[in-house]
C-alpha cells in the first residue's frame, strides 16, 4: 500500500443557511481559527449510544486536531468503544465570529516523535503550565498521565456570523500517492 496524501479540502457554501451575498469561508481562515481557539468542546458517544460533551484544550498541528485526557475519564472510555467524535469551537456571539465543527475519528497517538511535537505545540499555545513530558506512549504532567488523540478531519462546517451569515462545509479526502502516480503515468 502506498503513502496516503491528504488533499486540500473542498469548500461548499450551503445557500439555504447563508445570506444571499455570502461566499464560502476559505479553509485558510478556518484553519487559523483552529490554531488560535483557546477552548474546544469534544462530543463522543457513550457505549449505550447517548452523547457525551465536555470542554477541553486542543491544538491544531500537522493538519489535525490533538487533545489529551486521562485513561479513566469518560471521553477516553467512550473513544475506546467508538472513535467517532466531533470537536467544536467558536464564539458565544450571534453577530460576529466563525463557529467551527470538525468531524472525524480519534486515533490514539503512541509514537514518541509525534507526542514530542504535539507537547511542544501545547506549551507554545497554552504556556509553561501546559508543559508535558513524554514517556510510555503518553503525556505526563503534575496532574498525572494523559492519553493523546489525533483527529484527522473528514468533514468540517463553518458558521459565519455578522453582516453576512454563511454555512460552509469542507470535505477532506485522502488519496494513495502510489496509485495517483501510477494513474498519472498511464
For position 62, which CATH number holds? Answer: 2.30.110.10
pLDDT the model gives residue 92: 85
pLDDT the model gives residue 94: 86
pLDDT the model gives residue 5: 65
pTM, two decimals, is 0.89
Residues 157 and 101: beta-carbon distance below 8 Å: yes
Tally of structural domains, the chain: 1
Q: Tell me the pLDDT of the chain (186 aa) as tens digits.
A: 444 566 789 898 889 999 899 999 999 999 999 999 999 999 999 999 999 999 999 999 999 999 999 999 999 999 999 999 999 999 988 889 999 999 999 999 999 999 999 999 999 999 999 999 999 999 999 889 999 999 999 999 999 998 889 999 999 987 665 555 454 454
Domain span at residue 177 reads: 4-185
pLDDT the model gives residue 4: 57
CA dist., res. 68 & res. 71, Å (int): 9
Q: Radius of gyration (Cα) for the chain, nearest Å? A: 18
CA dist., res. 186 & res. 180, Å (int): 10
CA dist., res. 158 & res. 163, Å (int): 15
pLDDT the model gives residue 177: 52
Amino acid at each position: 500500500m502506498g503513502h496516503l496524501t491528504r488533499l486540500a479540502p473542498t469548500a461548499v457554501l450551503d445557500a439555504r443557511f447563508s445570506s444571499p451575498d455570502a461566499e464560502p469561508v476559505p479553509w485558510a481562515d478556518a484553519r487559523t481559527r483552529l490554531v488560535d481557539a483557546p477552548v474546544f468542546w469534544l462530543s463522543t458517544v457513550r457505549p449505550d449510544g447517548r452523547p457525551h460533551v465536555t470542554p477541553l484544550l486542543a491544538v491544531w498541528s500537522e493538519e489535525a486536531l490533538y487533545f489529551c485526557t486521562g485513561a479513566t475519564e469518560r471521553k477516553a472510555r467512550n473513544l475506546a468503544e467508538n472513535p467517532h467524535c466531533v470537536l467544536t469551537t467558536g464564539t458565544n456571539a450571534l453577530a460576529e465570529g466563525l463557529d467551527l465543527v470538525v468531524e472525524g475519528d480519534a486515533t490514539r497517538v503512541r509514537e514518541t516523535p509525534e507526542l514530542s511535537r504535539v507537547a511542544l505545540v501545547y506549551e507554545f499555545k497554552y504556556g509553561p503550565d501546559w508543559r508535558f513530558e513524554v514517556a510510555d506512549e503518553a503525556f505526563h504532567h503534575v496532574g498525572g498521565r494523559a492519553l493523546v488523540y489525533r483527529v484527522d478531519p473528514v468533514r468540517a462546517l463553518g458558521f459565519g456570523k455578522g453582516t453576512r451569515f454563511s454555512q460552509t462545509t469542507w470535505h477532506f479526502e485522502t488519496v494513495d500517492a502510489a496509485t495517483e502516480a501510477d494513474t498519472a503515468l498511464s
